[in-house]
Amino acid sequence: MRSGVTFAARLGTLAAWVFICALWGCRAQGNPCARFTCPSDQMCVEGDCFPRVDAREDTSPDTSVDSSMSDGAIDSAVSVDGAVDSGDDTGCTFGSCPDGERCDATGTCVAERDDCGGACGPGTTCVDGRCVSEPCGGACAIGTICRDGVCVPEGACGGGCPAGQLCVDDRCQVDGDGDGVVASADCNDADASVRPGATESCNGIDQDCDDRVDEGATCRGCAQRNREGRSYLFCGTVRSWIAARDNCRSRGAYDLLKVDGRAEDDWALNQVRTLDASVHWWFGLNDRASEGAYVWADGTPARYVNWSEGQPDDFRMNEDCAHLNRTLTPPGDFLWNDNRCDFEQKYVCESTP
């Protein structure tokens, strides 16, 4: 009888433990989360409570053990690394992104930046362990790139060149005068009227960059000729020496003819013989400032002269300007002579360097 009582008592004790196991879970040691409930702002992962990092997770009080955990298993909605199952279509959460990525504040998996701890926000990037602002705020659309803080289209020269430059051969090159020709191909990148292909006008400047000045230009009242890159105007309107000088200068980069040597002298004499051999022609030589000290119209001293015999003679002390002197017989024909500066004669202009 006593043994029957003892058996019954043991059976009752066993039944009590079965009831407790059913209620609390006999596999608690294998799954510690089955033994207790985390606070409402935390979740249980592998036996430890972790803060809920995604505000979109359910924050209602967890007052009971999910029935699916009665056997000690972790809820199927939470993975072992704490990630919410992919069935949640509200975006990523803590631990749900692939390796090398993290979940940002918008619920999007983005590349992890380990050197900054993945903490750089939108419009910033990690450089040497510091979050710094990205050019253009990191906001350039597809098909554009950031240049000088502005989003520009992609393409040749990386989508465009800074102001004052042009894209040539996929390189940004300087165009200082904005004439559409880069400096390396422009003979004067400070003047937009000077460029290859420009139209020449009568101004003493090589505007089309072909090493010839004013070729083909219409120079009012004058015949235009070229020699060794310079332009010469043989002007038929008679003027005093001063008026002739001023008219040359009014045309642009011109002054009265300055003869640098025998070759230029012979060439100029041949031109006037061809154009009008019956008259005299003013050129730039004069001693107006100091008697006997001959200089050119620009003030430089004369290093080459070709005077007719007996000249200059400063006849009646009133001859201070030189001209190409027509004589009736060679060899003195169109050699140099001094004359009164107020006499009116034809004249020769030359483009200045």
Lowest mean pLDDT among 250-254, 274-278, 287-291, 324-328: 324-328
DSSP state of 221: T
Fold of 222-351: Mannose-Binding Protein A; Chain A (3.10.100)
As a whole number, the mean pLDDT across the chain is 77
User: What is the mean pLDDT of the segment spanning 21-48?
Assistant: 53
Dihedral sign of CA atoms 134, 138, 143, 147 in order = negative
pLDDT digit string, tens, across residues 212-235: 999 999 999 999 999 999 999 999
Torsion of CA 43, 44, 50, 52, to 10 degrees: -20
Alpha-carbon dihedral of residues 27, 30, 36, 40, nearest 10 degrees?
A: -130
Its pTM stands at: 0.55
Residue-wise DSSP of 147-170:
ETTEEEE-SGGGG---TTEEEETT
What is the predicted pLDDT for the residue at 270? 92
Q: Which among 22, 26, 66 is positioned nearest to 43, based on CA atoms?
A: 66
Q: Where in the chain is the domain with CATH 3.10.100.10?
A: 222-351
